[in-house]
Amino acid sequence: MLTLYSYPQLFGVADNNGYGLKVYAFFKLAGLEFVHEHIFDASAAPRGQLPYVVDDGESIGDSETIIAHAIAKYRLTIDAGLSPEQRRTNLLVTRMLDDLYWVMSYSRWKDERFYPAFRDGFIAQHPQVCAEGFEKAKAYNAQRYHYQGIGRYTPEQAYARGLADLQALAEIVPAAGFVHGATPTSVDAGIYGFVANILYFPIPTPLKVFVDAQKDLVAHCERIHAMVGKS
């Protein structure tokens, strides 16, 4: 059995990390049978990062590598009908979501206006996590942000990047259906993974305020959410 290891649920979404939720949603949309295990410790993961999967004893990390593996091994047809142009769009959106990830993470762990609500909400749903451990994770993330670069931005500069990414997503998703037509493809799973981790979090970051005002982006997220549910 294919097993997906990813971070825990939070605020009604199956993974509180955009990458893990992307893979989870992709598997669901593609009709793939799998077991979903929620973990905190990523030490057993390839590159020490979540999500990862174990498939017939093989450990595979990185969300895009996982999706490519699943498509090839299980002959999934979710993206089979895409044109070269649509595949280029998918690649560009995927890379843009990589940028949005850092701003989302910054809003939770770095911005002191919102960190307490994130911390308290997380511990309330996962009481096995202590406040001291959470503070250690906060310090670790601060180092990551510094070396990645976003930790050297002012909040206004950081959010400007994320809001530009979200504006582009709001213009890409249609009022009805999905990005490439009447049925969802992998790009819809990717967009959902990140937007759901903003929309369903009751923390009024600038990203959340923006998403709430984008009716097509909200509707797209809700359509996917209804299809994939809560793990």
pTM: 0.95
Q: Are 220 and 166 in contact (CB under 8 A)?
A: no
Per residue, the 3-state secondary structure of the chain, as one string, reads CCEEEECCCECCECCCCHHHHHHHHHHHHHCCCCEEEECCCCCCCHHHCCCEEEECCEEEECHHHHHHHHHHHHCCCCCCCCCHHHHHHHHHHHHHHHHHHHHHHHHHHCCCCCHHHHHHHHHHHCCCCCHHHHHHHHHHHHHHHHHHCHHHCCHHHHHHHHHHHHHHHHHHCCCCCECCECCCCHHHHHHHHHHHHHHCCCCCCHHHHHHHCCHHHHHHHHHHHHHHCCC
What is the Cα–Cα distance from 131 to 119, expressed in whole angstroms? 8
Contact assessment for residue 74 and residue 23, using Cβ atoms and an 8 Å cutoff = no
- What are the pLDDT digits (tens) for 195-226? 999 999 999 999 999 999 999 999 999 999 99
| pLDDT (tens digit per residue) in 152-181 | 999 999 999 999 999 999 999 999 999 999
Residue with tokens 């994320």: 162
Give pLDDT, residue 1: 84
Residue 195 neighbours by CB distance under 10 Å: 29
Q: What is the pLDDT of residue 78?
A: 96
Q: Is 231's pLDDT higher than 90?
A: no
Locate 82 and state its tokens: 């895409």
Cα(74)–Cα(76) distance, rounded to whole angstroms? 5
Cα-based distances in Å from 215 to 173, 186, 219, 229: 10, 21, 6, 20
Confidence of residue 47 (pLDDT cuts 50, 70, 90): confident
pLDDT score recorded for residue 230: 66
Q: How confident is the model at residue 127 (pLDDT cuts 50, 70, 90)?
A: very high
